[in-house]
Amino acid sequence: MGKATIIDDSAYADLYSAHVNTLTERHDRALERAGAGHAVIFSGAPHGVFLDDYNYPFKANPHFVSWLPLTNTPFCYLVYTPGEVPVLIYYQEKDYWHVPPATPEGYWPEEFDIRVIHSMEDATKHLPATRDNCILIGEITDEAQSFGIDRVNPGSAINMLHFDRSVKTGYELACMRAASRRAVKGHRAAEKAFKAGKTEFDIHLDYCRAAGHAENELPYGNIVALNENGAVLHYQHQSHEKPEEFRSFLIDAGARVNGYASDITRTYAKEDGEFADLVIRFDQLQLELVAEVKTGVDFADLHLLCHEKIAELLVETDLANGSPDALIESGVTSAFYPHGLGHLLGIQVHDIGGHMGDDTGTTVDPPSGHRFLRLTRSLEDDQVLTIEPGLYVIDMLLNNLSGTPGYDMINQKKIDWLRPYGGIRIEDNVRVQKDGCENLTRNAFEL
């Protein structure tokens, strides 16, 4: 098993300064729109478990992580004032129960005026004196965390920041390429474990070892699904038991680098044959959709094109019969493929802003009948998004067609053949460009 990707800070140093400059420009505009002079960005606080004395795994505020590669530092504040060096109020609790955050080092500290504090009360010494000229960005679970700042997450500023965040800087792209390479190490190990006949649980462990992640460091819970479990879109278990027969394997798993995520799905057949051929054909379908990605494309149109391609594939493989239009209008394609084609990707796996029509908060609804589509924007240069068509046997959805014209279009005998395999999903992460896209996932697999 290969070692996890080693992240060399020097690879990011030259890009990081330009990244901070972009953030200052974005926050300058957001503050002007909000009529404020300072942005105070809270890293967040841990959430305690009900009736217990420990916390859920900490998830930092993505607005904070966009400035700083600090994903596990609660109770910190970033103070941005136009024209001044950003101030990082860095909380190092004096504690013998837990290891406090390390002394800041690496490629990023020189961009900030770092003020180390050892108690939350000391934060007030480093915040702007005029609180009424501040906005605070973050999740506030205790009034004390706001230090008297009344304007928390004002829509005027937040909408602009969310809209702009979809376009990635050179630094962010470098982090996401590295996250793809890191995840691919895990995917290679998982494929090998599946072929060796391991359980879902052991495949998951092999993935984590190869990717160099503890479970809480993963960007989302791994979907590790053998056989018919692949038909559960967000399959949440990792069985310790071996199935009586290994037929298929679907893995949806990613990795993080400096807070930025990858999100990759692959499907495998245990043996050569009809299902293996279907996976190859579906991979071709997915690449045809990737080839359509470029600046200016309406992603909702691309999602609808995917339904056309799914309809054609259903007829080609004898899973259904009828014209593509009839299969779509009758709901057959949605029964086999009920989720959206993709979503924005970045600090958050489902990055914010996918339904935004502009930077004022206008939303663009998904097409009628496609409410699970997470991205309805026209694509822009340097956005990163997923392309993840799927095909599954979900009996609940197929049964919902009973009594409709769509039900008669389905080949039940062929469905019975496919059901034990669960389903197929192929997911790549792509960067939008003027004349096409950069496929971060395929490039990582080639490496």
Each residue's pLDDT tens digit, 225-261:
999 999 999 999 999 999 999 999 999 999 999 999 9
User: Residue 305 — very low, low, confident or very high, per pLDDT cuts 50/70/90?
Assistant: very high
Report pLDDT for 3.
36
> Tokens for 170?
């050179």
pTM over 0.85: yes
The whole-angstrom separation of Cα 333 and Cα 304 is 10
Question: Counting runs of H as helices and runs of E as strands, what totals does the chain give?
Answer: 13, 15
1 pLDDT exceeds 70? no
CB 168 within 8 A of CB 383: yes
Averaged pLDDT, 372-380: 97
What DSSP letter does each residue of 156-221 carry, written as one string?
A: HHHHHHHHHTTBPPHHHHHHHHHHHHHHHHHHHHHHHHHHTT--HHHHHHHHHHHHT--GGGSSS-
CATH class of 10-164: alpha beta
The CA-atom distances, in angstroms, between 117 and each of 101, 120, 188, 350 are: 11, 7, 43, 33
Q: Which two tokens mark 347?
A: 């600090």
287 pLDDT band (50/70/90 cuts)? Answer: very high
How much is the mean pLDDT over the chain?
96
Read off the pLDDT of each residue in 333-344 and give the average, rounded to a whole number.
Answer: 98
* Tens of pLDDT, residues 159-213: 999 999 999 999 999 999 999 999 999 999 999 999 999 999 999 999 999 999 9
- 3 state SS of 114: strand
By CB atoms closer than 10 A (0-12, 13-18, 19+), residue 166 is buried
Residue 134 has pLDDT above 80, yes or no: yes
- pLDDT tens-digit map of 386-418: 999 999 999 999 999 999 999 999 999 999 999
CA separation for the pair 76, 89 (Å, rounded): 6
DSSP 242: P
pLDDT score for 439:
98
CB-based contacts of 344, cutoff 8 Å, min separation 6: 166, 350, 351, 352, 353, 354, 374, 375, 383, 384, 385
What lies within 8 Å, CB to CB, of 100 at 6+ separation is: 92, 93, 94
Whether residue 278 contacts residue 336, with contact meaning beta carbons closer than 8 Å, is answered with no
**CB distance 240 to 216 below 8 Å:** no
Q: What is the pLDDT of residue 8?
A: 59
What is the pLDDT, as a whole number, of residue 75?
Answer: 97
What's residue 296's pLDDT? 97
pLDDT tens digits, residue range 95-124? 888 888 899 999 999 999 999 999 999 999
Counting Cα atoms < 13 Å in the Cβ hemisphere of 345 gives: 31
Domain ranges of the chain: 10-164, 170-446
List the CATH code of the domain at 170-446.
3.90.230.10
Under a CB-based contact definition with an 8 Å cutoff, are residues 282 and 424 in contact?
Answer: yes
Taking the C-alpha atoms of residue 393 and residue 232, their distance in angstroms, rounded to an integer, is 9
At 4, is the pLDDT very low, low, confident or very high (cuts 50, 70, 90)? very low
What mean pLDDT is predicted for residues 328-356?
Answer: 97
Q: Sort 119 into a burial class: Cβ within 10 Å, 0-12 / 13-18 / 19+.
A: exposed
* Distance from chain centroid for Cα 3: 24
Distance CA 61, CA 65 (A): 6
- Grade residue 94 by pLDDT with cuts at 50, 70 and 90: confident
Note the pLDDT tens digit of each residue in 428-442. 999 999 999 999 999
Spatial separation of the C-alpha atoms in residues 262 and 177, rounded to whole Å: 8
Q: In one letter, which amino acid is 56?
A: Y
